[in-house]
Structure 1
Amino acid sequence: MAEPDEKDPVTRTVNRLVTERPWTVVAVFLLLTAGFAVGIGTDAEQQAGADQFTEDIEEFEAFEEMEEAFATRGREGGGAGATVFVRDDRNVLSEQSLLRMLEAQQRLEDRDRLRITGTSSPASTIARELDPGATTVEAQQRAIERASPRQLREAIQQAEEQGALGGVSTDLNPSAGSASTAQLQVSYDLPAGAGQSDRAALQYRTIDVLETVDGYTVNDNVVVFADALLEDEILQLLNDTAIVVFPAAILLIVFFLVLAYRDPVDLGVGVAALVMTLVWTFGFMGYAGIPFGDTMVTIFPLLLAVGIDFGIHIINRYREERQDGAGIDAAMTLTTRQLTAAFLIVTITTVFSFAANLTSPLGSLQDFGLVAAAGITFTFLIFGVFLPAAKVGFDRLREGRGFPQFGTKPLGREGSLLGVILPAGVSLARVGAAGVLIVALVGGGAAGAYGTGVDTEFSQEVFFPNEERIEQYERLPEPFKPGTYSFLEVISTLENDFDQGFIGSVTLYIEGPEVRSDATFREIDRATRDPPPAFAGDRREADASSVLSVTHQHAAENPEFGALVRQTDTTGNGVPDRDADRVFESLLDSPRGDQARSYLTDDRSATRIQFQLTADADATDATRDARLVADRFQTLEATPTGQIVVNQAVIDRITESAIVSLFVAFGLTAVFLAISYRLLEGRAIYGIINLVPVVVTVALLAGSMRLFDISLTPINAPILAVSIGLGVDYTVHFMHRFVDEFDGDPTVDVYEALLVTVRGTGGALTGSMLTTVTGIGVLYVALIPLIAEFGILIALGVLYAYLAAILLLPATIVVWVRAEAKLRGVETAAV
């Protein structure tokens, strides 16, 4: 039994506070907990879905500006919209269904509180085809009512031939005038400064109005899709997941803590420390104004994993000393002396692994790094100071009052089942340490190389569960049963009925006063010529929609406008290159005006080009070629955007973030460990030895991601860097205990020191691993797939870190001891 090291001021201070004034320490921590509890929810908000990862990305900022410009068409304030999917299996384009659509539009437009600037639908398009002068909903209703069935079919067919009949499902039969699904578009005009809650209020009121239309049943034959509603449903997913997962995780964690502690007082103190850690971290988020999003859900399992580990180590080491006959104060002094330094090393290296995410270009991952780093610091303070003080205080009460003692024996003690199993790594090291090390390094290298092929994924859809998982949740009793979700119906409708997913088209967005210049048509024409491989079209021209394509369509239909185009075309290629603003004005005032406004704002301050992609083009190809085309512009400045481009930009940043944070975390950890062990033990090599199992752990985790088809996403992007902290957590405890037992004495048998270490610290590591893997692994049942995958990765990371510490670290130590003895040319009894 080693003597306390009074040279360490941190340990000396902790020992004095814990043993001399335990209840004062407990009171201070409880007061701090109350203070942090007040901060929970203060000035913070919830974030969910894909939008939280797209902030400050140029492509997304351009996308938002484009959406606002074409939604508001030059008006002050902000724009917002909603899409209403109307289904009629008999025929959504029948006279009755078209009139019902127009009735819905009229009721929406008549509600002043909805701030609706306009509605559109196939019904209004068909009515204008019947009567070009039908500009109001009432006039369009009259046009539909007066039309014969034959006239109605002809109007549908003509609108389809002209490309004006948008928002109709792919099962459209123009000659029969039939389809099953249509889209009704609603546009709002929000006041300047309006936020998400204002937008959501309008969209929910829209649902209320639609419910009043005879024959419409929302979430049955009518489904409303809007950004605010979608975000609310994603937040609901978070809540529904929490209601099921958190109780299950708590039950499993408490169950294994009962097995690890086997004492109600120790269990109560350990659980209280875990709760305090979460309260402090939530409170910090509130005071710092950091929103609670999907990435934040993953922080708390990580903190629980480290907290469980710290708690079991404290109690287990204390029990070892008590079993050897030490008193309460002496046992805790020795425990904190030995573990405080280890805890501090683990804390700082884990902070490095979390804080490495501050290098990420994604704001949400920067928030993750900051909150996680703060949380692990709180974990160190609570488990390194509060828990020992509370343990001392309660044990003194029990000793003085004769309270019954429960489980007091340490885990992994000699003669126990764990005591028989845990020395397996020492036995392997005795038989062939070099072989174990070589096999581990080769296997880890192969796993790491395999893991470099892991996919990266980002889209709104990755946040949604599949129908099978929702059906499983729906079988649960109240209050665990989930709410109603419409997004699955929206996804199915978009993919099956409109041949599109959540991703939009590849778009080039152009804004600024130069749009009114004579160069605009010429620049658009240049952009669509000689398309790159990902863009559909023939060899000479891309399949693209723009104000130029609408100009050509209208010129072919209207001789007067065609003459204007020829007058302004000095090269004879059909592209106006002078008096462009005059052509714009005439086009916007024509029957093709509404179609032109899809590509040119009323004030001619912005325009856009939408490119169709080839069937085999992926997001990477599409984004690369969009940027190539944008570079063709000379006078105008074009920005590639659209959901495909935005998602790919996030994917690029996710990959960059994962790689950079991994190397930053590894570099900082390596330097810190080397310096720490140099200062504490006089040997930097101990820090390097610590990293061998950690490298293997990270490599195995990367390989497992690819093996289990888990893509790199914004939620799990930090996992590789975080796995360094998890690995160090296990190896530092093992190494620190081994150094205390071995102490570099060549007369001490290394295998005996390893056996003492693996039975003492190994028992605590086993209890920590089982509790963490089962408690955190329960995230696998989460409703949100990304959180379920994160639970799998954390459980695997902890399991790999444990196995590497127990099986690989002894062999690494033996190889080092042998090599050192050989280099020094000394005979040793150590091996």
Structure 2
Amino acid sequence: MWDPNRGIERLAEGTVEHAGVVLVSVALLSVVFAGGLGLVDQEAGTDQFTEEVPAMDAMERIDEEFAGDVGDSDTSAQLLVEADNVVARPTLLRLLETQRRLEDDGTLRIGETTSHADRIAAELDPDAETPTDRRRAIQEATDSELATAIEAADDDRFAEAVSTDYNPTTQRASTALVTVEYDVPESVSTSRLQTLQADSAAAIEGVQGNEIGENAYLFGEGILQTEITALLTDTAIVVFPAALGLILLFLLIAYRDPIDLLVGLSALLLTLVWTFGFMGYAGIPFSDAIVSVFPLLLAVGIDFGIHAINRYREARLGEASVDEAMARSMGQLGTAFLIVTVTTVCSFAANLTSPLGALQEFGIVAAVGMTFTFVLFVVYLPAAKVTVDRLRERLPVPAFGTTPIISEGSQLARGLAGGVSISRRAPVVFLVVVLLATGVAGAYGSGVDTEFSEEAFFPSETWIDRYDRLPEPFAPSQYTFIETIDILEDEFDQPTGGGVTIYIDQPVRRDDSLERIDRLGRNPPDSFAETSAGRADTESILTVIERQRAADPAFDRLVAQHDRLGTGVPDRDIEEIYAALDDSQRASEADRYLAENRESARVEIAVEPDADTASVVEDAQYVADRTPLSAVATGDRVVQQEVIDATLDSAVRGLVVAFVLTTVVLVGSYRLLEGRAVYGLLNLVPVLVTVGLLLASMRLLGIPLTPINAPILSISIGLGVDYTVHFVHRFVDEYETQETLAALSATVAGAGGALTGSMITTVAGIGVLGIALIPLIQEFGILIALGIGYAYLSSLLVTPSVIVVWERFGDRLSVPRRG
């Protein structure tokens, strides 16, 4: 029968014996993976999390089937212009000159621009169709004529284009909104849109009086994606050097040997190269969700490296040869590394159960990267280390640190033995207290908030100001989107996320179709804005019909003839009504709400400005469900809420799956490798403590669950297992020749130093993410640092009492001694 322990020992022996072949093979594989680095794309923002959301699918179908889009179109932009008075003649002229520059530049692919200046000019000269004609009309008008035109232009569309501080008496407003529509397909690439909108911003600043970022702000999907990508870049420029510096410092302290440090760093570097290369070949983009993979791999790699070198040095103290010491060390550590790898891969792969594609990609990349980490630190690092040390024995290389981090009986070993002391004096009481505290922490943490919005990716202006103080090349880019969003919300009374849309996914040619659409507005829920008639404030094909009736007596008579019930809604031969609308001046307006083939329709519903998203979405889905039409609620708010729901589902599902898989793997691994399944169960108690404390910390610190940190709960299981497995596995080795408490003391002395060095290095290096520009990455860095800290403390403080209590009240731990 195959003995897995013997298999691991043979792997260690073969690695040492054929170190040169291993190094050449790793070098060749690295060249192959390096070829994938250039294939890695970048993806930022919220789009990466919305692809599988049903409401997003409905939004995309609306974009394809109707003339207008739900919310802000990806192919449109908003230009905000501030001035002392945007309704004064000089600003109106500046706006129209800006519009002329944009529309006349064919390279910008702009189809149309609209502003309140257009409405005013149209009142002065109804035949003025171009920005140039409208500019002339305003320029030549007398003050009295201009004032009269402004008063006449003051309608709903005018109000939407000027800030809410507009005073019709004094005819003053501080901010204007210009809509810019690009003449490009909806499928236009993000990079192309970024280029067009960046060039548009340059054209806007070319008009005298406009200063981008000062009194003029262009806001669109292209600008947004450009600035979010810049956030990632600016974060990397500051965080990566700081993290690298701290990691190097603490690794140098842990290794105390620059040559060993280079060997360990080379293994970490190859882990990143292999993982990035895999992403390129697999077509997985580097996104906000993937950013967190690499700190995790560094954390595990640092841990593996310190343990490997530390155990090797222990073996060398007995005057074993280089080859013998490494083969013996990796034969012992290989089992622990394998268990850690398999359980951590399970905790990462648990994210494949998420309904969000970005989290599934996170699970894939993290699991593959963890596998690469195992291969490189179990095969490459030992081969590189023995090759180096063989050369050192033949060459006059100075000796540096060659002893383990701590030794039994040292002051540091005594300092780390607190958990052993507790297990000697009051293990039962301590364990009961810990389990009760964990239960309370978990219950408290179950109330953690869940959040998802575009704004969650944006830093505060205060945080950007701090970055601004940094010298080049660390100073950040110029960001306008934060101030733009504030202006839109504060000065244009635009509720966050806008209203909601009901997408009617069925033909609307039946005689009662418009009646059914009309009923959607009856008895509106509390979060919906209401008209004076007590109905929901809606925009639909019925709205277009009403406007055409008011403007065209012949159309009004036609509708009346097709209204058998006298409700004002056509309910007979409605195709004739549609045909009449197609022939009217409102044909383009009708195309916003009725598909050309009459196979679908849409209804836009306004909501109360202070209504919370959860209530709005619940009410929208209720309205969609109660109608006999085949309807789907959609819009930015609905997509946001569905992602929040999917995030919570991902976190809970990932936690459950990771725990179940980890339990199975631990029990099975210890049964197969050590002959006792109970060792796997002993590992789980400290892991549960880590999860409970981390969840409680999230709520206490006000860190919500987001699509970026949703994997943290399943990851915390992997982090906890990493530290606990090293402790338990070392204990099993020591327990072969010593009694329980003595074996625990030896374990702390042997593994405690490596665990401490690994913890300090990774907490310091990954904790630097807490200064990142992007709040979501800040929070993830804090959570990972906390998770590693809790896993370390749990392994050293809780595990000894778990072992002692099990020995005292459960099955005896003794196993047949391996000769």
Q: What range is the shorter-chain TM-score in?
A: over 0.9
Deviations 1:613-653 (A, max 9, x none): 23553212211111111123334x33211111111111111
User: In the alignment, which residue of structure 2 is the partner of 1:651?
Assistant: 644
Quote the offset at 1:736 in angstroms. 0.5
Q: Give the letter for the 2:759 counterpart.
A: M
Q: CA deviation at 1:33?
A: 1.6
1:84 aligns with 2:79: yes
Q: Indicate conservation of the 8 Å contact 1:666/1:724, yes or no.
A: yes
TM-score by length of 2: 0.94
How far residue 337 of structure 1 moved from its aligned partner, in angstroms, is 1.3
Change beyond 3 A, Cα 1:501–1:386? farther
1:32 matched to 2:26? The reply is: no
Amino acid at match of 1:305: A
Aligned-pair identity in percent equals: 53
Q: Distance in 1 between matches of 2:295 and 2:443?
A: 28
Which of 683, 708, 728 lines up with 1:735 in the alignment? 728
User: What secondary structure does 1:325 align onto?
Assistant: coil
Distance 1:145 1:252, change over 3 A: same
Q: Displacement of 1:679 after TM fit? A: 1.1
Whole-angstrom CA distance in 1 between matches of 2:167 and 2:554: 33
CA contact (8 A) 2:766 2:785 kept: yes
Return the alpha-carbon distance in structure 2 between the equivalents of residues 106 and 580 of structure 1: 41
Distance 1:603 1:122 in 2: 33
Cα distance in structure 2, aligned partners of 1:117 and 1:174: 31
2:191 to 181, 190, 197: 197
Query: Matched residues in 2 for 1:269 and 1:29: separation?
Result: 14
1:740-759 aligned within 5 A: 740-743=733-736, 748-759=738-749
Looking at structure 2, the residues matched to 421 and 821 of structure 1 have their Cα atoms a distance apart, in angstroms, of 30
Q: Secondary structure at the match of 1:117?
A: strand
User: After the TM superposition, which residues 247-646 of structure 1 pair with which residues of structure 2 at under 5 Å, given as runs?
Assistant: 247-500=241-494, 503-510=497-504, 514-515=507-508, 517-537=510-530, 540-556=534-550, 559-584=553-578, 586=580, 599-600=593-594, 607-635=601-629, 637-646=630-639
Report how far residue 188 of structure 1 moved. Answer: 2.0
Residues 71, 81 of structure 1: 8 Å contact kept: no
**What SS does the corresponding residue of 2:627 show, helix, strand or coil?**
coil
Contact 1:310–1:343 (8 Å) recurs in 2: yes
Instruction: Tell me, in whole angstroms, the C-alpha distance in 1 between the residues paired with 2:134 and 2:333.
Output: 79
* Cα shift at 1:117: 2.4
2:423 and 2:437 map into 1 onto residues whose CA distance is 17
Deviation for aligned residue 1:58: 1.9
Contact residue 750 and residue 814 of structure 1 kept, 8 A: yes
- Residue 261 of structure 1 and its aligned partner are, at CA, apart by 0.4
Q: What is the alpha-carbon distance in structure 2 between the residues aligned to residue 584 and residue 211 of structure 1?
A: 44
| Counterpart check, 1:144 vs 2:113 | no
Instruction: Measure, in 1, the Cα distance between the counterparts of 2:143 and 2:101.
Output: 26
What do the CA deviations read for 1:746-797 (whole angstroms, capped 9, x no partner)?
xx42110000001111111000000010110010000111001000000000
Distance 2:755 2:74 in 1: 56
How far off its partner does 1:333 sit?
Answer: 1.9
2:231 paired residue number:
237
Taking the aligned partners of 1:117 and 1:604, their CA distance within structure 2 comes to 26
Q: Runs of 5+ in structure 1 lacking a partner?
A: 827-831
Measured in 2, the distance between the counterparts of 1:144 and 1:70 equals 34
How far residue 533 of structure 1 moved from its aligned partner, in angstroms, is: 2.7
Do the aligned partners of residues 218 and 728 (structure 1) sit closer, same or farther apart at CA in structure 2, a change above 3 Å counting?
A: same
Once the two structures are superposed, residues 56-85 of structure 1 have per-residue CA deviations (whole angstroms, 9 ceiling, x without a partner) of 222112223334555579xxxx98212111
Alpha carbons of structure 1 residues 319 and 251: separation in structure 2 relative to 1, 3 Å: same
Aligned residue pairs, count = 810
Q: 2:761 maps to which residue?
A: 771
CA separation of 1:822 and 1:273: change in aligned 2, threshold 3 A: closer
In the alignment, the residues of structure 1 paired with residue 155 and residue 574 of structure 2 have an alpha-carbon distance, to the nearest angstrom, of: 27
CA distance in 1, matches of 2:27, 2:124: 75
Contact kept in structure 1, 2:242 and 2:768, CA below 8 Å:
yes
User: 1:57 — aligned with what?
Assistant: 53
Write the distance in 1 (CA, Å) between the matches of 2:467 and 2:731. 47
Selected match of 1:48 from 44, 50, 61: 44
In the TM superposition, residue 731 of structure 1 has moved relative to its aligned partner by 0.5
Aligned to 1:782: 772
1:676 Cα deviation after fit:
0.8
| Alignment counterpart, residue 790 of structure 2, candidates 777, 800, 810 | 800
Deviation readout 1:499-541 (Å, 9 max, x if unpaired):
23652221113366x2455444312211010112322327951
Deviates more, 1:94-103 or 1:474-483: 94-103
Work out the CA distance in 2 between the residues paired with 1:201 and 1:529: 45
1:92-145 CA-partner distances (Å, limit 9, x unpaired): 112232232222222322223333322211111233344444444344334434
- Distance in 2 of aligned mates of 1:810 and 1:306: 23
| Residue in 1 that maps onto 2:656 | 663
State the alpha-carbon separation in 2 of the partners of residues 554 and 108 from structure 1. 32
TM-score normalised per structure 1? 0.93
* Residue of structure 2 equivalent to 1:820: 810
Q: Aligned partners of 1:690, 1:823: CA distance in 2, in Å?
A: 14
Cα distance in structure 1, aligned partners of 2:123 and 2:633 = 34
Cα deviation for residue 308 of structure 1 reads 0.4
CA distance in structure 2 between the aligned counterparts of 1:7 and 1:659, rounded to whole angstroms:
34
8 A contact 2:538–2:603 mirrored in 1: yes
In 2: Cα distance, 1:104 partner to 1:69 partner: 31
Cα distance in 2 for residues equivalent to 1:45 and 1:517: 48
Shift of 1:429: 0.7
1 CA distance for matches of 2:811 and 2:163?
A: 78
Task: Go from structure 1 to structure 2 and tell me whether the alpha carbon gap of 1:126 and 1:471 turns closer, same or farther (over 3 Å shift).
Answer: same
Distance 1:494 1:436 in 2: 56
The answer to whether the Cα contact below 8 Å between 1:134 and 1:143 also exists between their aligned partners in 2 is yes
Q: What is the deviation of 1:408?
A: 1.5
- Contact 2:65–2:596 (8 Å) recurs in 1: no
Find the aligned partners of 2:484 and 2:165 in 1 and give their Cα distance.
17
**TM-aligned CA deviation for residue 147 of structure 1:** 4.1
Kept after mapping to 1: 8 A contact 2:343/2:662: yes
With over 3 angstroms needed to count, the CA separation of the structure-2 counterparts of 1:567 and 1:162, relative to structure 1, is farther
2:160–2:492 Cα contact (<8 Å) kept: no
Between 1:114-123 and 1:258-267, the stretch displaced more is: 114-123
Alpha-carbon RMSD across the aligned residues, in angstroms, is: 2.5
- Counterpart secondary structure, 1:631: helix
Matched residue, 1:15: 12
Q: How many angstroms does 1:741 deviate by? A: 1.1
1:829 match: none
The Cα shift of 1:596 comes to 5.3
Contact 2:194 2:222 in 1 (8 A): yes
In the alignment, the residues of structure 1 paired with residue 354 and residue 631 of structure 2 have an alpha-carbon distance, to the nearest angstrom, of 26
SS at match of 2:779: helix
Residue 810 of structure 1 aligns with which residue?
800
Distance between the aligned counterparts of 2:685 and 2:194, measured in 1?
52
TM-fit CA distance, 1:45 = 1.1
Shift of 1:713: 0.5
Amino acid at match of 1:311: G
SS in 2 for 1:528: coil
Q: In the alignment, residue 660 of structure 1 is paired with which amino acid?
A: R
SS in 2 for 1:717: coil
Q: Point out where structure 2 has 5 or more consecutive residues left out of the alignment.
A: none
**What's the counterpart of residue 181 of structure 1?**
175
